[in-house]
C-alpha cells in the first residue's frame, strides 16, 4: 500500500475507529467493516463497497466525542465525511456518503415499517436530523443523483450493528477503495 490516501484511510479505520458506535455494542471499525461486507456480499460495485466502508468517516475526522447525539448534537458527520472524501473520490463514492442520513429520513417518510426497524441510536439521531421526510422532501431526494445508492447504503448501515460478527479486516476492502480513488495523491 504505497498510496498515502489509502494509508490515511487505513489509519483512520484502524487507529481512530475504536470508539463505540453510538449506543450499539460495537465500535466504529466493526460498523464500517460490517457495512462494507454486506455491500460486497450483495455484489455491489466497488464504489458502493467503498462508500459503505467510509460512510461514517466523518465521525473519525472530528473531535466531538463518541456519541454527540446523546448530548443533543447533530455532528453532521455525513457532511464532514463528504468534505474529507471529495478530494480523493468521485461522486459515485462521496454522494452516498453525503446522502446516507437523508436516506434514513427518506425511508422513514416513505416506508411505514422502516422507523420500527431503526436502532435506538438511529431513532435518537433522526430527531436531530429533521425527522421523517415529507412527501415533497422525499420526491426531491429521490430525484438526486446518488439517492438510490444512498438508500442501499442506508439499509446496510442499519444492518451493520451486530455484536461479535466476524468480518474481513480493513485491508480486505482497500482494493475496492483503491479502484475508486481519483488520479493523483
Residue 73's pLDDT is 44
Residue 38's pLDDT is 98
Tell me the domain boundaries of the chain.
Answer: 4-180
Please report which residue ranges of the chain form alpha helices under DSSP H.
Answer: 4-15, 28-41, 46-54, 57-60, 77-85, 91-110, 120-128, 135-142, 147-159, 170-180
Domain 4-180 has CATH 1.10.3210.10: yes
Residue 123's pLDDT is 83
pLDDT tens-place string over residues 43-64: 999 999 999 999 989 887 765 4
pLDDT tens-place string over residues 68-120: 545 544 466 788 899 999 999 999 999 999 999 999 999 999 998 999 988 87
Q: Is the pLDDT of residue 35 over 90?
A: yes
Q: Of 163, 173, 179, 134, give the one whose Cα is nearest residue 33.
A: 173
What 3-state DSSP class applies to 21?
A: coil
Can you tell me the distance from the alpha carbon of 112 to that of 183, in angstroms, rounded to the nearest whole number? 43
> Does residue 78 or residue 155 have the better pLDDT?
155
Residue 144 backbone dihedrals phi, psi, to 5 degrees: -75, 140
Amino acid at each position: 500500500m504505497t498510496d498515502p490516501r489509502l494509508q490515511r484511510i487505513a489509519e483512520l479505520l484502524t487507529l481512530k475507529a475504536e470508539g463505540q458506535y453510538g449506543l450499539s455494542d460495537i465500535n466504529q471499525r466493526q460498523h464500517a467493516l460490517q457495512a462494507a461486507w454486506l455491500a460486497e456480499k450483495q455484489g455491489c460495485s466497488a464504489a458502493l463497497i467503498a462508500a459503505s466502508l467510509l460512510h461514517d468517516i466523518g465521525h473519525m475526522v472530528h473531535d466531538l466525542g463518541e456519541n454527540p447525539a446523546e448530548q443533543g448534537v447533530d455532528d453532521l458527520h455525513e457532511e464532514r465525511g463528504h468534505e474529507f472524501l471529495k478530494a480523493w473520490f468521485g461522486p459515485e463514492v462521496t454522494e452516498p456518503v453525503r446522502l446516507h442520513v437523508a436516506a434514513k429520513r427518506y425511508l422513514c417518510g416513505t416506508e411505514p415499517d422502516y422507523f420500527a426497524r431503526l436502532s435506538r441510536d438511529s431513532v435518537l439521531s433522526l430527531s436531530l436530523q429533521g425527522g421523517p421526510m415529507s412527501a415533497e422532501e422525499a420526491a426531491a431526494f429521490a430525484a438526486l443523483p446518488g439517492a438510490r445508492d444512498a438508500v442501499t447504503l442506508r439499509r446496510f448501515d442499519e444492518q451493520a450493528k451486530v455484536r461479535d460478527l466476524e468480518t474481513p479486516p480493513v485491508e480486505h476492502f482497500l482494493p475496492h477503495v483503491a479502484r475508486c480513488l481519483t488520479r493523483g495523491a
